Structure 1
Amino acid sequence: MSSALAVASTLLLPIAVGLLLPLPPAGAARGSLTRGADIAVEDHATDFLVSPDGTFACGFYNVSPTVFTVSVWFARAAGRTVVWTAAPGRPVHSRGARLALDRRGGALVLTDYDGAVVWNSTAQAASASRARLHDTGNLVLEDGHGRALWQSFDSPTDTLLPVQRFTAARHLVSRGGRGRLLAAGYYSLGFSDYAMLSLFYDNHNFSSIYWPNPYNNYVANKRKIYNFTREAALDALGQFFSSDAAGFVAADLGAGVRRRLTLDSDGDLRLYSLDAATGAWTVAWMAFGNPCIIHGVCGANAVCLYAPAPACVCAPGHERADAGDWTRGCRPVFRRDCSRPTKLAALPHTDFWGYDLNDGEIVPFHACAQRCLATCACVAFQHKQNMECYLKSVLFNGRTFPGLPGTVYIKVPADFDMPEFHVRQWREHGGGLAIDEDIPRCDVANGGEEVLLNFSTHNGPRDVGKAVWPYLYGFLSALLVIEAVVIGFGCWLFSSRGLFRPSRVWAIEEGYKLITNNFQRYTYSEIKRATGNFTDMIGSGGSGVVYKGILEDDRVVAVKVLKNVSQSEQEFQSELSVIGRIYHMNLVRMWGCCSEGKRRILVSEHIENGSLAKMLFDREPSDAVLGWNQRFQIALGVAKGLAYLHSECLEWIIHCDMKPENILLDKDLEPKITDFGLAKLLNRDGSDANLSRIRGTRGYMAPEWVSSLPITEKVDVYSYGVVLLELVKGVRISDWVIHGVRFSDMDTRMVVKAIHDEMETSDHERWVKELIDSRLNGEFNPVQAKAMLKIAVSCLEEDRSKRPNMSSVLQALMSVEDEAR
């Protein structure tokens, strides 16, 4: 019963919104799009592709009267359920947009009202004959013999359809929640670094894996790791198979049912079945019956209660950051000051998952409390009945329910007045959960355990003391009102009295682009304020200057001001086009941008320890030297980041300027790859004309940069090989001395040849020791060192076909990660 109620809110939303959108008339469509033909956005209601059996349709989908996407949807489902979208974060306008099968290049091309290319199918096949929508929901570009040259199944958005293969190179990314329907959501499904199918949460401040259960190891989760096949699929019967054993079956297992596996905006992965008679969807399987387990449901400093739909409350001493969006969490109403006396506010049967400052030692309560009180970075601690102590640096992923072991104690100022607000939870005899805040109709005497949680009343009881259903109805009503306002505004906008006339379509470009932006837009004055008028420069390079800044929410950021407007505009657009697809701990996160006049500015997270180049090459003799284990973990982390860029992103991405200056180290010396100013999306056939104008950094450039060969991801592999050698030796490769001979940066091949000859002819121990940084004083792991040198030599092959890919490099490094010295 509780699961059904939780699902109801998910089902009502797309149906309610969909009813506002007109359904295309049946039969007024075409079976294929031939070479040179196009579909105009103005004809979206009558001109679209349909699958032979009529189940799927593809064409312009009206998000609002002025905003359209090119999508594939279930034509027979209520609300036109979308299963795939081309460039989901970049819609087009309602006038002048076209989807065409290019007569010359043989690719599907989506252009906006001004002729700008928004998306193309990346297939550069002169033999492309037509685009056709198959009965499986797959949009396919075919040659004259029906062979597939490109297909939408290779680049899923938030939905997986039966018989659609899911591989390491693919991700499902949820859509944004309220107010962010076109933006990418915070949730994604993909294979982790350990080849385990996982659900990821990343809101650009916090990131974590929340499925399978992060509390358990892979054995307890019944998963397999290190199976680098990394494939999954949903079959026609409703069975889901994965290479890591993450399988499940539909409740209505059997043939003849239309299904879809969708990562919804609330972070739950659900398998839906279509009722052919009514067009309604039912849930046949879901990853989470209790939504409170999903990370980020209530945001920071908030606790999720399941009753039987999720309800959020702020932690003691906190208030809501955004009255309309719980995912933004709560903010403290007091000032954190470690010099002031503090007291503890208890939250029984509560947990905030992750962000621990320790490993959960077994200590008495008073010792645990003393450690937290004495540690400024500790904002709270959890103490369990078996005396496990967890110090928390962040209050995130909070949840509470009867039987959850342990109590969380939050640090608040000793003079802070917190009126008590009692939230009662209990377990019914029938096993269901309920919640009540002093409501007479609920009686603890009916059975079970009562738990009292003290929450701050700074939110006001109206936020946490009401039943769940009014919230649901209110939320749906608000959505309908917002949709009506958007429609009304759109009609006024293009009326004779509106701001813009139909003949001035170009003038509203900023208006409709702004509502689809995935990034925080900052004004130039905000950037000046954050950087103190650009006073604290922390780096510079060929594409711009980087300053340190502090935003109004106290986040420390890196602000990159791009140089040379004509060039920077291209770099700016390039970075923004790929950044929304980046989800990895070894890549710097982009938080926002500024684009005013000729100014192009990027705002990203600030990494505390600066670049690897600074830590490795620019240290004073008295400074601490990077230890061997730190160097190996840096090599491993960079390999993970590059492997993600090359094979696990929604698109293939090459960095093109991999060097120690573009590897930043955080406070734990975890590496993060930065500076995507030179990065371009790699076409599936390995060609990209734009890459001919890009150049890397001397000493790290692969030989093909100076030849006529097309640039592939193997240029990054080459640069990574140079970085590996420098990590081992501790000096620039141009400064290497082997057997008394000094090499210049033009002779990297001579360094490689010398190392290769040593590997072939000399005693392993001797030649490895000779190549290790002397500052380590012999403290290194010879097995790992030998592996790193061999990998580096293979990466530096002049013939790029002989170089390994980054996934193979990663596997080789991981195979020696646990080697004892």
Structure 2
Amino acid sequence: MLSPLPYGSTTLNLTTPLTLVWMANRNQPVNGKLSKISLLDSGNIFLVDADQVTTWSSNTASDAPVELHLRDDGNLVLREPQGTILWQSFDFPTDTLLPGQPLTRFTQLVSSRSHTNHSSGFYKLLFDNNNILSLIYDGPDVSSTYWPPPWLLSWQAGRFNYNNSRVAVLSSLGDFTSSDNYKFSSDDHGKVMPRRLTLDSDGNVRVYSRNEALKKWYISWQFIFDTCTVHGICGANSTCSYDPKRGTRCSCLPGYRVKNHSDWSSGCEPLFDLTCIGNESTFLEMQGVEFYGYDHIFHPNSTYMNCVDLCLQDCNCKGFQYKYDGEYSTCFTKIQLLNGRYSPLYKGTISLKLPKNNNFSEEKSMKADDHVCSVVHHKDFVRKSANRFVSFSLWFATALGALEMICLSMIWGFFIRTRQKSSADQQGYHFAAVGIRKYSYSELKKATKGFSQEIGRGAGGVVYKGILSDKRHAAIKRLNEAKQGEGEFLAEVSIIGRLNHMNLIEMWGYCAEGKHRLLVYGHMENGTLAENLSSNTLDWSKRYNIALGIARVLAYLHEECLEWILHCDIKPQNILLDANYQPKVSDFGLCKLLNRNKLQKSPRFSMIRGTRGYMAPEWVYNLPITSKVDVYSYGIVVLEMITGKGPRTGVGSIDGEESYNGSPVAWVKDKKSGTCWLEQIIDPAIQTNYDECKMELLARVALDCVEENKDLRPSMSQVVEMLQTHEN
């Protein structure tokens, strides 16, 4: 239940699991027991504290009778009987927008200081002076824009600044539109449900949707995926690293210690004093670490030693950023070490200025100060390439020969910064944000010992076991020779890489080199579901939990992703089991990523997909393909887990009965018409030890899933609900 009531009102119990969406006096909290809110005959609302001091007022007046009305959309409205609005909470947002509530040139969102401290924080969402919807870090000492990415011009970020409306709004269907051309649809868009857009205390904007059945909010979209790009999140003299599983982590630089363990925005302080004598200082080089902004001196085409000399000559220099990409080199000396982040795809280094004979090291610092400061999920903001602009800049600089020396520094400054980011995009910069690495073909060939140990094979390619350079055991799928272009391949790998579900196989990396297309996954210790069924290693409880896990991940793929992802080949061979026998669905082809709108316009596939015996009738009769094809395949797999009999096995009889006819659906339906049917279909490996109630439910759900008419089959979310009723 949303709570659009003044913070500190006597009618709001802050100990209940309510969600605050508006606060009247966030920076002057009142006594929760003795404070009260009142509506006067004069048309004014005021909030008084325990000592009867007014801490907030609507500053309104009216000669007519007034009423304070909480609307169904969450807007708290003070109005006159004829409908004139004197005051409304929608005009004074705090950190949240509700559906239909506009963000305008006169309003802004300001984050809370923390999850528990609702006073004003350091982050703001507003329209800047260029009419661009922006996220601002307004810290105690510095202020900067961090979204859209500051190294991009507005048109490079896909924004339009020639507008005068300055309005942005989230709809009840999950669609967000802004007058500067920024728009998105939440992962679950299309259905009316409770939603909110909140600027969280970590500087990210997220859309939350509410599952009414579970009474829980979940993230259905966010502006920024890698929260390390948020300025100020780890404070000065520290670095931020992001991992999709562990979240955002802050670490002090070597030679620095954290100021406040409960608030990393305070940053780190030095454990040393630097003199201005050059020969008393040295430099510690850190790979893959970048500090954005606050450059003191920029030198293009500078050598590393020249950069060292520049920093030694400057008493205020704390270090320098250096990068050489084989063609160009850049040197930026730093007077402040702010907005530090670690990215494995950043090819440059930061060299810290430290006193000689110090015992500081990168390893020691990471161990001492590593700290989880927040956990986030879902989508990232995809940056656009600036290559055309770079090319134009180079041509323009060359053409102006007479002014070349004057303009060179400015043009190169912009060029290097833009090129840094755009080339990172081309090499998979935002793949790093979701933990995906680009591998070379030679690396993967070495990891698999020349692709010698085959552990799986399918229509899309062959899977090999490999050991990566960091000693992780991986399953490396070598796709059949690809006709797909590299750009299209990378775009689709990006989508798959951003998927995040505990029952989905985790992608670690990819290779797109020439004609080679490879995908790198984690290796599952217990092999495939098919192997475990044939070896009788699964008891009834494991089978039930596996069925529930598969249902959950299919519901996620079908209903919670922006792209409509149909697996199209659900079978025991494509379901892996980890060390705890948790299922991991794997091997969904890249070509099955479909846009919902495009699918509605063209609902037929050009070719049949799947494995005979697990395929829905729609494939055979050339009927429109929907998510119900996966539901059918799921039903076949569940029947196989219950009976131990898969399609087309052609073997087996129970207690001398007629031979199995090769179709688990027909065979189970035939048994169901008799008495004690459950006992007759249960796999002999678990026949004497199982929960009859749960296994019967599982069998009935499976039969519902394999209905000939797709409209009679349940959705995967309905399957999850049915199975969860007996989970415990």
Q: TM-score, normalised by structure 1?
A: 0.46
Q: Report what 1:538 is aligned to.
A: 455
Match of 1:556 among 473, 498, 504: 473
Give the distance between the partners of 1:796 and 1:462, measured in 2 at CA: 57
User: Which consecutive residues of structure 1, in runs of 5 or more, have no partner in the other structure?
Assistant: 26-59, 85-133, 141-150, 178-184, 197-226, 231-242, 248-259, 271-290, 314-318, 327-455, 467-482, 499-507
Check the 8 A contact 1:692/1:711 in 2, yes or no.
no
After TM superposition, the structure 1 = structure 2 runs for residues 652-671 of structure 1, keeping only pairs within 5 Å, are 652-671=564-583
Q: Report what 1:23 is aligned to.
A: 130
Check the 8 A contact 1:687/1:712 in 2, yes or no.
no
Q: Report what 1:119 is aligned to.
A: none
Q: Which moved more, 1:644-653 or 1:689-698?
A: 689-698
Please say if 1:641 is aligned against 2:515.
Answer: no
Specify the code of the residue in structure 2 equivalent to 1:771. I
The Cα of 1:600 is off from its aligned counterpart by 0.7
Please say if 1:813 is aligned against 2:723.
Answer: yes
The Cα of 1:164 is off from its aligned counterpart by 10
Please say if 1:709 is aligned against 2:681.
Answer: no
Give the distance between the partners of 2:443 and 2:566, measured in 1 at CA: 32
Give the distance between the partners of 2:426 and 2:155, measured in 1 at CA: 9
The Cα of 1:527 is off from its aligned counterpart by 1.5
Q: Classify the secondary structure of the residue corresponding to 2:362.
A: coil
Specify the code of the residue in structure 1 equivalent to 2:720. L
Check the 8 A contact 2:187/2:561 in 1, yes or no.
no
Match of 1:612 among 529, 532, 535: 529
Please say if 1:700 is aligned against 2:614.
Answer: yes
CA offsets, 1:140-181, max 9 Å, x none? Answer: 9xxxxxxxxxx9664369xx9xx995679x99999x99xxxx
Specify the code of the residue in structure 2 equivalent to 1:638. I
Aligned length: 457
Q: Classify the secondary structure of the residue corresponding to 1:741.
A: coil
Q: 1:152 to 1:629 in 2, by over 3 A?
A: same
The structure having more radius of gyration, on CA atoms, is 2
Match of 2:696 among 762, 786, 802: 786
Q: 1:707 to 1:487 in 2, by over 3 A?
A: closer
CA offsets, 1:575-623, max 9 Å, x none? Answer: 4153144110000111221111111111122222111011112x2xxxx
After TM superposition, the structure 1 = structure 2 runs for residues 144-163 of structure 1, keeping only pairs within 5 Å, are 154-155=185-186
Give the distance between the partners of 1:464 and 1:74, measured in 2 at CA: 49
Specify the code of the residue in structure 2 equivalent to 1:652. W
CA offsets, 1:16-75, max 9 Å, x none? Answer: xx98xx9379xxxxxxxxxxxxxxxxxxxxxxxxxxxxxxxxxx9997369835468996
After TM superposition, the structure 1 = structure 2 runs for residues 389-538 of structure 1, keeping only pairs within 5 Å, are 457-459=360-362, 492-493=393-394, 495=396, 497=398, 513-514=426-427, 516-518=429-431, 519-538=436-455
Specify the code of the residue in structure 2 equivalent to 1:792. A
Specify the code of the residue in structure 2 equivalent to 1:709. L
Specify the code of the residue in structure 1 equivalent to 2:361. H
The Cα of 1:4 is off from its aligned counterpart by 5.3
Q: Report what 1:306 is aligned to.
A: 262
Q: Report what 1:316 is aligned to.
A: none
Specify the code of the residue in structure 1 equivalent to 2:621. S
Q: TM-score, normalised by structure 2?
A: 0.51
Match of 2:539 among 627, 643, 668: 627
Please say if 1:751 is aligned against 2:649.
Answer: no
CA offsets, 1:272-326, max 9 Å, x none? Answer: xxxxxxxxxxxxxxxxxxx9xx95332699999234626479xxxxx99866279
Give the distance between the partners of 2:587 and 2:217, measured in 1 at CA: 37
Give the distance between the partners of 2:479 and 2:454, measured in 1 at CA: 13
Q: 1:516 to 1:167 in 2, by over 3 A?
A: farther
Check the 8 A contact 2:502/2:584 in 1, yes or no.
yes
User: Once the two structures are aligned, what percentage of the paired residues are identical?
Assistant: 33
The Cα of 1:740 is off from its aligned counterpart by 2.5
Match of 2:247 among 288, 296, 299: 296
CA offsets, 1:633-672, max 9 Å, x none? Answer: 1001001110111111122211000000110000000001
The Cα of 1:516 is off from its aligned counterpart by 4.8
Check the 8 A contact 1:73/1:83 in 2, yes or no.
no
Q: 1:461 to 1:549 in 2, by over 3 A?
A: closer
Give the distance between the partners of 1:571 and 1:489, measured in 2 at CA: 23
Check the 8 A contact 1:687/1:710 in 2, yes or no.
no
Q: Report what 2:706 is aligned to.
A: 796
Cα RMSD after superposing both structures: 5.6
Give the distance between the partners of 2:533 and 2:250, measured in 1 at CA: 38
Match of 1:576 among 488, 493, 506: 493
Q: Report what 1:673 is aligned to.
A: 585
Q: 1:167 to 1:583 in 2, by over 3 A?
A: farther
The Cα of 1:791 is off from its aligned counterpart by 0.6
Q: Report what 1:740 is aligned to.
A: 657
Give the distance between the partners of 2:362 and 2:176, measured in 1 at CA: 51
Give the distance between the partners of 2:120 and 2:365, measured in 1 at CA: 24
The Cα of 1:695 is off from its aligned counterpart by 1.4
Q: 1:661 to 1:300 in 2, by over 3 A?
A: farther
Q: Report what 1:346 is aligned to.
A: none
